[in-house]
Amino acid sequence: MNQISQKMCKARMEGILLSLHNIKHKILMHARKILDSLKFNRPISLGQVDILKDFNVKADITLRAPILVRWNPPVNNYSLNVDGACKGNLGICGGGGCFRDHNGDFVCGFAFFYGIGNSLIVETRAIHDGLRLAMERHLNIWLFLSRLSLMVSYLTGQSFLGGGGICHILQTLKPKIVHTFREGNQVADSLASQACVIHRNSIFLCLSDLPTAARGSLIIDKAGLPSFRQRL
């Protein structure tokens, strides 16, 4: 568009009148040149396809094979999945977590409302609350999963400076900390979203007490059924 603007200014300075048809043609040619160079690595909408057709451009879509993601039970003791939900960059947020045994059976879970915050704050609080519940209920966690890869890197590295309570519990329980994709963390994700809706704290001790979405995801996990994650 810069080139078009420069050419129009030059034509005006030289007293050359460009017709509307010529201007439109130049814009279309430059737009088509840009669109022709685009590569898509994910499906695009029908509306976007129609726009490309208006410029006589065929979408060059390169799709990578999806990743199969499934929840894996701990070898022994208990696993803890945690997740945080934040409705906006700074918005209503809540945390959720789920404890399961090596058979994939539900032990207990939580959905805590945190008010207003961001994704890093809510994930940190959810991790702290999950670990605190593990200590209070004497649950020896073998596997600790978190969807936020940045937080997993902090917790497994030497640079984690925040959350003295988190560090103390980690040193006591010594769990294996593993990152999981959202598709493998759907029970905790459902509980975190539930907290944002009900605006209160809940602890679930029975499978029947869980929200429907979380209960359904837990059954799918126990059956070992995978979810598909599209590669970016």
For residue 139, what pLDDT band results from cuts at 50, 70 and 90?
very high
Residue 57 predicted with pLDDT over 70: no
Q: Tell me the sheet residues that pair with 141.
A: 78
Same domain, residue pair 46 and 133: no
**Could you tell me if residue 80 is inside a domain?**
yes
Same domain, residue pair 50 and 73: no
Same domain, residue pair 84 and 172: yes
Residue 24: domain span: 2-54
Residue 176 predicted with pLDDT over 60: yes
Residue 28 predicted with pLDDT over 60: yes
Overall domain count for the chain: 2
Model confidence, pTM: 0.72
**DSSP codes, 172-220:** HH-PEEEE--GGG-HHHHHHHHHHHHH-S-EEE-SGGGS-HHHHHHHHH
In the prediction, which pLDDT does 152 show? 78
Burial of 169 (0-12, 13-18, 19+ CB in 10 A): buried
Which of 115, 112, 126 lies closest to 84, judged by CA?
Answer: 126
In the prediction, which pLDDT does 179 show? 87
Residue 95 predicted with pLDDT over 90: yes
Same domain, residue pair 120 and 204: yes
Residue 191 predicted with pLDDT over 90: yes
What average pLDDT does range 67-96 have in this prediction?
Answer: 92
% of the chain surpassing 90 pLDDT: 43
